[in-house]
Amino acid sequence: MAKSKKSQRSTEESLTQSAEETRAFGRKLAGRLRPGDCLLLTGELGAGKTTLVQGLAEGLGLDPKEIISPTFVLIREHDGKIPLFHMDAYRIGNARELLEVGLAEYFQRSGITVIEWGEKVRGSVPSDAIEILLEIVKGDLRRIRLIRPKKS
């Protein structure tokens, strides 16, 4: 895993070669998160955003089988020791539509908020949100970049 620092941002880059490796990335990431954290997932259709959330859920002690893209409902809540709020901004025109279904309130609720197509709502989430960019390199190979606004 390569690390680099640019001003206040820290970037980590990983490669995964299968969906299971991306789930493992998510499981490991879960252990580094705290209640109240927000993750923005960016990457084209099929890049592996939902797959990563499945790993994240597992790492939080939730059933990964319950994780499906909340494309039509916008938000799915998963209750556990640390709740997971899984959102999908794919179908929305702008952040207002997620704000209307209560986006801002989720940040007060001591859970982990993860938003697929998160780049669409970047201006409406806490400034310390973690960005995860998933890129299809070739076949099953994915590049995952994790960007934290501040080193912590």
Instruction: By CB under 6 A, name the binding residues for ligand ATP.
Output: 16-19, 21-22, 43, 45-51, 69, 116, 140, 142
69 binds Mg ion (CB under 5 A): yes
3 state SS for 23-90: HHHHHHHHCCCCCCCEEEEECCCCCCHHHHHHHHHHHCCCCHHHCCCCCCCCEEEECCCCCEEEEECC
Distance, CA of 139 to CA of 117 (rounded, Å): 21
Which pair of structure tokens corresponds to residue 146?
């994790």
Q: Could you identify the residue written with the tokens 């880059």?
A: 13
What does residue 25 show for φ and ψ, rounded to 5 degrees?
Answer: -60, -45
Binding mask 37-66 toward Mg ion (x if CB under 5 A, else -) reads ------------xx----------------
Taking CB atoms, the residue at the shortest distance from ligand ATP is 48
Nearest distance in Å: CB 70, Mg ion? 8
> Residue 113's binding partner, choosing from Mg ion, ligand ATP, none, with beta-carbon cut-off 5 to 8 A by kind?
none
85-124 residues in contact with Mg ion (CB under 5 A) are 116
Nearest distance in Å: CB 40, ligand ATP? 13
Nearest distance in Å: CB 66, ligand ATP? 14
Query: Hey, what amino acid is at 39?
Result: L
Nearest distance in Å: CB 5, ligand ATP? 26
* CA triple 121-127-131, angle to 5 deg: 65
> Residue 133's binding partner, choosing from Mg ion, ligand ATP, none, with beta-carbon cut-off 5 to 8 A by kind?
none
Residue numbers of the site for Mg ion (CB under 5 A)?
Answer: 49-50, 69, 116
